[in-house]
């Protein structure tokens, strides 16, 4: 039986696509190899959002040429956004590649590999499924069945035209999944033991039900062009899957952070108190050139409404530094926005020119060292905000969804994390390492902890006495024994301190 291995680069959508490739290959009779060295088929699921990510693929394929020479029947597949972007060209540029497959063509992968095995030529399939969009559901594998957290795709593609971004080119126009299908997938995951769902989409909150099956959400305006049906979908999921503990989503666009979505956050307990809301810049001049279609003041007003509706809600964001024409004043505006909003998490990137993007027409005129210095300054600011936030939580009580054992997840290596055995996330997405509970089976439980210390990027926590007593009474589950029947430990929603 041929063995395969998948290496994933890039965003959560790619991680999720890799799960679907695992599924498609397993169903076709392939088995997963222990690692790339043992594989017959090696899949690189690529990212092209920044040039660096694309360079990674090129150097990886260079290495693989040698790997291929060791055995004549070894196969290299390139999937994901570079595959979609470059298509046939990849086959010409890099002889080591046998199959190029776009994100919408994942189901065709076994067929393409089969043709190749019969002597077929290297092939590229990168066709968008515009007429009949498919949303593959990965059937649970031994490693994902009953996992505490799972992703569910609700839309794909992007109709925004942010001038820096290649995604509309690599993922095509927006296509939405029927709400009934979304709810059914979530219900099945929760029945199998999953506690937290993250809804995925390139502009996840522009969602509309293609079958028109959702009632208008409270607060939704009939004539606001930014109004989507995302809030209605959140309400439907909350009502139909009561066993779900947490419902997250990524990545939203600020344009669709409408009053109906704010109201959903105020009313639905299943929505945790953290939202990732990419802003990209704090300068109106730059935002206009980025074609983001909101002003700084609009971003501030919309996020402020959210925080007022859900006290204690934290925001994180994405920021690009060194966009064409960005001056020191523009960058200072970004720094001041970071302070004004008080982001508790920040992904920062140096602008990188991407093919097929409108910004190619603008000169990439901010020097590399200036971009580097601005990025360092930005991180300094965000690290300080995070440190203040985390140390402010010491002594408080929090609810943590336990996602795994530290040593399994490779977490807990942070200084001061010694002795921690379980780790997970608070409702606001802070990482928490739980000390001194190694003998208990906490996987997938929402437990009450008290925060003992703050690390640089995470928290050290201990179970409260009530949570410890409740956990002792909990029947121990085996690999997946008891998963569907799991109940939450008694928790209190209060946050002391």
- Binding-site ranges for ligand 5AD (CB under 6 A): 49-50, 164-165, 278, 280, 318, 320, 349, 351-352, 354
In the complex with ligand 5AD, the residue whose CB is nearer, 30 or 164, is 164
Tally of CA atoms within 13 A in the half-sphere of 56 that contains its CB: 17
Q: What is the 8-class DSSP label of residue 73?
A: T
Tokens 């992968």 map to which residue? 109
Q: What is the spatial distance between Cα 485 and Cα 479, in angstroms, rounded to a whole number?
A: 14
Could you tell me the smallest distance in angstroms from the CB atom of residue 122 to ligand 5AD?
29
Structure tokens at 129: 């499924």
Q: Which of 312, 146, 294, 316 is nearest to 226 (CA)?
A: 294
Q: What is the spatial distance between Cα 179 and Cα 468, in angstroms, rounded to a whole number?
A: 39
E-only strand ranges, 233-322: 246-250, 274-276, 314-321
Q: Is 206 exposed, middle or buried (0-12, 13-18, 19+ CB in 10 A)?
A: buried
Could you tell me the smallest distance in angstroms from the CB atom of residue 321 to ligand 5AD?
9
In the complex with ligand 5AD, the residue whose CB is nearer, 11 or 393, is 11
SS3 42: strand
SS3 307: helix
In the complex with ligand 5AD, the residue whose CB is nearer, 50 or 428, is 50
On whether 199 is known to bind a ligand per the annotation, the reply is: no
User: How distant, in Å, are the alpha carbons of 89, 276, 477 from that of 446?
Assistant: 49, 22, 15
Could you tell me the smallest distance in angstroms from the CB atom of residue 278 to ligand 5AD?
4
Could you tell me the smallest distance in angstroms from the CB atom of residue 160 to ligand 5AD?
11
Q: Which of 462, 456, 453 is nearest to 414 (CA)?
A: 456
On whether 162 is known to bind a ligand per the annotation, the reply is: yes
CB atoms inside a 10 Å sphere around CB 376: 12
In the complex with ligand 5AD, the residue whose CB is nearer, 207 or 351, is 351
On whether 165 is known to bind a ligand per the annotation, the reply is: yes
Could you tell me the smallest distance in angstroms from the CB atom of residue 460 to ligand 5AD?
30
In the complex with ligand 5AD, the residue whose CB is nearer, 151 or 164, is 164
In the complex with ligand 5AD, the residue whose CB is nearer, 260 or 280, is 280
In the complex with ligand 5AD, the residue whose CB is nearer, 346 or 440, is 346
On whether 55 is known to bind a ligand per the annotation, the reply is: no
Are 199 and 249 contacting, i.e. CB atoms less than 8 angstroms apart? yes
Are 400 and 432 contacting, i.e. CB atoms less than 8 angstroms apart? yes
On whether 481 is known to bind a ligand per the annotation, the reply is: no
On whether 488 is known to bind a ligand per the annotation, the reply is: no
Residues at the annotated binding site for [4Fe-4S] cluster? Answer: 11, 47, 81, 158, 162, 165
Residues at the annotated binding site? Answer: 11, 47, 81, 158, 162, 165
């Amino acid at each position: 039986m041929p063995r395969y291995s998948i290496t994933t680069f890039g965003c959560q959508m790619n991680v999720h696509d890799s799960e679907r490739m695992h599924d498609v290959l397993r169903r076709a009779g392939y088995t997963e190899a222990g690692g790339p060295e043992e594989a017959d088929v090696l899949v690189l699921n690529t990212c092209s959002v920044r040039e660096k990510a694309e360079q990674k693929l090129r150097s990886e394929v260079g290495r693989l040429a040698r790997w291929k020479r060791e055995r004549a029947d070894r196969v290299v597949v390139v999937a994901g956004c570079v595959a979609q972007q470059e298509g046939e060209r990849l086959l010409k540029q890099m002889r080591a590649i046998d199959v190029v497959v776009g994100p919408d063509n994942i189901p065709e992968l076994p067929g393409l590999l089969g043709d190749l095995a019969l002597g077929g030529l290297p092939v590229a399939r990168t066709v968008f499924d515009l007429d009949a969009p498919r949303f593959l559901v990965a059937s649970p594998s031994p490693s994902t069945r009953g996992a505490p957290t799972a992703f569910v795709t609700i839309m794909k593609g992007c109709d925004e035209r942010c001038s820096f971004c290649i995604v509309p080119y690599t993922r095509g126009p927006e296509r939405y999944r029927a709400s009934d299908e979304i709810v059914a997938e979530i219900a099945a995951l929760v029945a199998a033991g999953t506690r937290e769902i993250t809804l995925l989409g390139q502009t996840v909150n522009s969602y509309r039900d293609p079958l028109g099956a959702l009632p208008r959400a409270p607060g939704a305006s009939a004539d606001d062009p930014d109004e989507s049906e995302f809030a209605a979908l959140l309400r439907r999921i909350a009502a139909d899957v009561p066993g779900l503990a947490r419902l997250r989503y990524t990545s939203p666009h600020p344009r669709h952070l409408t009053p109906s979505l704010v109201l959903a956050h105020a009313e639905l307990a299943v929505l945790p108190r953290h939202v990732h809301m990419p802003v990209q810049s704090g300068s109106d001049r730059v935002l206009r050139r980025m074609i983001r279609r909101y002003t700084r003041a609009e971003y501030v007003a919309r996020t402020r409404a959210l925080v007022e509706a859900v006290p204690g809600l934290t925001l994180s964001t994405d920021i690009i530094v060194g966009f064409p024409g960005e001056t020191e004043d523009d960058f200072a505006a970004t720094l001041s926005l970071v302070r004004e909003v008080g982001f508790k998490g920040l992904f920062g990137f140096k602008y990188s020119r991407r093919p097929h993007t409108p910004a190619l027409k603008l000169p990439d005129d901010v020097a590399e060292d200036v971009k580097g210095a601005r990025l360092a300054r930005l991180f300094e600011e965000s690290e300080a905000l995070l440190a203040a936030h985390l140390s402010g939580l010491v002594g408080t009580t929090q609810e943590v969804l336990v996602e795994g054992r530290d040593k399994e997840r490779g977490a807990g290596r942070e200084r001061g994390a010694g002795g921690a055995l379980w780790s997970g996330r608070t409702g606001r997405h802070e990482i928490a390492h739980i000390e001194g509970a190694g003998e208990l089976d906490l996987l997938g439980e929402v437990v009450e902890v008290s925060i003992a210390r703050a690390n640089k990027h995470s928290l050290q926590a201990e179970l409260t006495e009530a949570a410890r007593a409740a956990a002792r009474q909990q029947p121990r589950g085996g690999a997946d024994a008891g998963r569907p029947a799991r109940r939450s430990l008694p928790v209190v929603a209060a946050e002391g301190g």
